[in-house]
Amino acid sequence: MDLSIVPLIPGEKRALIKWKEFQSRKPTIDEVKAWWRDTPNANIGIITGSLSGLCVVDFDKYAEGYSEDTAHEYFPDSIIAPTVTTPRGGQHLYFQFPTEKLTINAGALPGIDFRGEGGIITVPPSVNGNGKAYEWIEGLSLSDVPPPPLPDLYKKALIKDIQNLYTHGVDTDSQQMSTLSTNVYKEGRRDQDLFHIAHLLVKAGCEDAYLYKTLEMLALSCNPPFPLKEAEIKIKSAIDRANRKERNLAAEVREYVLSTNGVFLSTEVAKCLHLSTREDLKNLSIILKRIEKTEKLIERYGNKNGCYRAIDSEEEAIDFINADLSPYDIRLPLAIHEWVTIHPGCVIVVAGESNAGKTAFCLNVAKLNRDVAKVNYMSSEMQNGAELRIRLNEFEGSIDFWKGIKFTFRTDHFPDRIDPEGLNIIDYLDEGTDSEAYRMPMRIRLISDRLKSGIAVIAIQKDPSKGLGFGGSGTLNRARLYITISRQGILKIEKGKIWRNKSINPNGLYCRFKLAAGCHFSKDGDWLS
């Protein structure tokens, strides 16, 4: 839609990246793809202002001082604008950005905020921290109706508020302060304005004495003024709030650590929390050391500076007394299921050489189990529906047979789309190069961790010169059935954890097979050991 968008922290309204440059230029398609490839569940923010040609009015209907009468006075029902309902029950209305370079404003009307030049707004389908979504009102999305001009009456209110703020010089001279306070620090917005000044002064590093004197002069000259004793309380409250608002870095770092699995770098923490100053980075280092030495939530990992591993202290007791011993009802090509028993929550790994029949094997698993399981088939190669249709046409019967199977194209982040209760088929899990094959065991484990009563059949590549798939012996760890397929038409059971026949060990069994039309498996002789 020719808008400038940026990723926001999942579940939040803060940008995930440094976004200042995207106020003056739109991101490229490659940048957008990279952002959401790295963080698929990132929220979405639109940069408001002249670059996107949009401004947004935020109706905080839950805010103190908000009035529906005032809202209707400035925004009559006759206005038809793209409208979003927010998770807290407010609304965002989208308008054309005016020729006047209006910026962000939260004071022109109580409970009605404005996002203009230099602003950012959270858009659907983003969610807040509780998982509640921003949603377009049906028929009123940006795709349904064009943003109308900003109402003149509200535009005048914004301009007037800006003039009130900036036509007076901010000086410590009491007379000038009094003039500014009379025009700006009025009843109904005194707390908000005092807090804003306190926040700026704290952020600038002002000494307490200067800060107190400045805020005292402002508070006492408000309209109406605060009594001296009440003013002191308000000043202390404003400073305390500003200090809290500035940020509790230790709490944010700790929250990051608690939400992280595995290995992470301090630079990743800094990027996520938008830390860039020397002081912030120094504090980050101190906090991580405290979390490591005192709280023992992390430990150093490897020889690289700033590399840590989150310690998993959670324990999940194994309930063997009430365990369900019923096997998972699955049928596999060449009747492999007659040798090995599969239980709910298990992983089957199919390591195949290039063009040896991995996809044919996976499609046959989907076909054989369509009527007894909810099949979730994820393909990393067949993005084009035509290629999949050609493969399916080789099977006997109507194409309608396959409608009961969910086919999706996916190349990464497979755990995000695992159906914990279903039959998941991943065709295939690719690491691209031998140098990155070490990641394969971890990726299989992450998929396995998502399973409950369902199972996962994971196809991976295999080097013809090696016995196991990319990732080596580590790919055996989570598999309860591990088979290899060669281009010479040999299928071998490398690992069968639970024997179907207690007197026959399936490990090492192999058979020769023929593959016709890229889909029909047939056994060529007996199983051998």
pLDDT tens per residue across span 321-330: 888 899 999 9
- Please, which pLDDT band fits residue 73 given cuts at 50, 70 and 90? confident
Is 60 exceeded by the pLDDT of residue 178? Answer: no
Residue spans per domain, the chain? 5-160, 168-246, 249-310, 333-523
φ/ψ (deg, to 5) at 416: -65, -25
Q: Is 469 helix (H, G, I), strand (E, B) or coil?
A: strand
Contacts of 328 (CB under 8 A, 6+ apart): 342, 343, 344, 346, 455
Q: Strand, helix or coil at 244?
A: helix
Phi and psi at 277, nearest 5°, equal -75, 155
How far apart are alpha carbons 388 and 408 in whole angstroms?
A: 11
Q: Is the per-residue pLDDT at 360 higher than 90?
A: yes
Q: How confident is the model at residue 471 (pLDDT cuts 50, 70, 90)?
A: confident
Residue type, 268: E
Select from 517, 519, 518, 499 the least CA-distant residue to 509: 499
Task: Return d(Cα 91, Cα 121) in angstroms, integer.
Answer: 12
For the ranges 169-178, 429-438, 460-469, 490-499, the lowest mean pLDDT is seen at: 169-178
3-state class of 189 per DSSP? Answer: coil
Indicate whether 181 pLDDT > 50: no
- Where helices occur in 247-351 by DSSP H, the ranges are 249-258, 266-272, 278-293
Q: What is the DSSP string of 489-501?
A: SEEEEEEESSBSS
* Cβ–Cβ < 8 Å for 4, 22: yes
- The more confidently predicted of residues 271 and 191 is 271
pLDDT band at 336 (very low <50, low <70, confident <90, very high): very high
* CA pair distance 238, 193, nearest whole angstrom: 10
| pLDDT: which is higher, 304 or 288 | 288
Span 80-98, average pLDDT: 91
CA distances from 108 to 53, 70, 158, 179, 485 (A): 22, 11, 6, 19, 70
How much is the CA Rg of the chain, to the nearest whole Å?
A: 31
Q: What pLDDT score does 109 carry?
A: 85
User: Per-residue pLDDT averaged across 452-469, rounded?
Assistant: 93
Give the contacts of 47 (CB within 8 A, at least 6 positions apart). 3, 4, 5, 6, 19, 22, 23, 119, 120
The answer to whether residue 64 scores a pLDDT higher than 90 is no
Place of tokens 């996002």: 115
Catalogue the E-assigned strands of 34-134: 43-47, 54-59, 83-85, 91-96, 105-109, 112-115, 120-123
Distances 521 to 270, 332, 402 between C-alpha atoms, Å? 53, 11, 18
Distance of CA 461 to the CA centre of its chain: 29
Nearest CA among 330, 347, 320 for reference residue 495: 347
CB atoms within 10 A of CB 350: 30
Structure tokens at 343: 């239980």
Q: How many residues does the chain have?
A: 529
Asked if residue 447 lies in contact with residue 458, where contact means CB atoms within 8 angstroms, the answer is: yes
Average pLDDT value for the chain = 84
CATH number, span 333-523: 3.40.50.300
In our burial notation (b when 16+ CB lie closer than 10 A, e otherwise), range 267-288 reads eebbebbbbeeeeeeeebeebb
Closest by CA position to 457, among listed 371, 376, 367: 376
Torsion angle of C-alpha atoms 14, 17, 21, 26, degrees rounded to 10: -90
| Average pLDDT of span 354-367 | 95
Confidence of residue 175 (pLDDT cuts 50, 70, 90): very low
Q: What is the fold, at CATH topology level, of the domain defined by 249-310? A: Arc Repressor Mutant, subunit A (1.10.10)
Asked if 320 and 440 touch (Cβ cutoff 8 Å), the reply is no
pLDDT-based confidence at residue 130 (cuts at 50, 70, 90):
confident
C-alpha distances (whole Å) from 233 to each of 44, 212, 378 are 40, 11, 61
> Is the preceding omega at residue 166 within 30 degrees of 0, hence cis?
no
The pair of structure tokens assigned to 154 is 């509200």
Of all residues in the chain, the percent with pLDDT exceeding 70 is 82
Instruction: Return the amino acid letter for 491.
Output: L
Question: pLDDT digits over 235-259, tens only?
Answer: 666 566 555 544 577 878 887 787 6
Q: Tell me: pLDDT of 415 over 50.
A: yes
Helix (H) or strand (E) holding 449: helix 440-449
Say if strands 455-461 and 423-429 run parallel, antiparallel, or are unpaired.
Answer: parallel
What beta strand segments (E) does 97-177 contain? 105-109, 112-115, 120-123, 135-136
pLDDT for position 210: 65
Q: Which of 17-21, 28-32, 383-387 has the highest mean pLDDT?
A: 28-32
Both structure tokens of 490: 């040999």
Q: Phi, psi at residue 426, to the nearest 5°?
A: -110, 115
136: β partners: 84
Of the listed ranges 28-32, 124-128, 260-264, the one predicted with least confidence: 260-264
Tokens of 438: 């070490």
Q: What proportion of the chain, given as a percentage, has pLDDT over 90?
A: 43
Q: How confident is the model at residue 389 (pLDDT cuts 50, 70, 90)?
A: very high
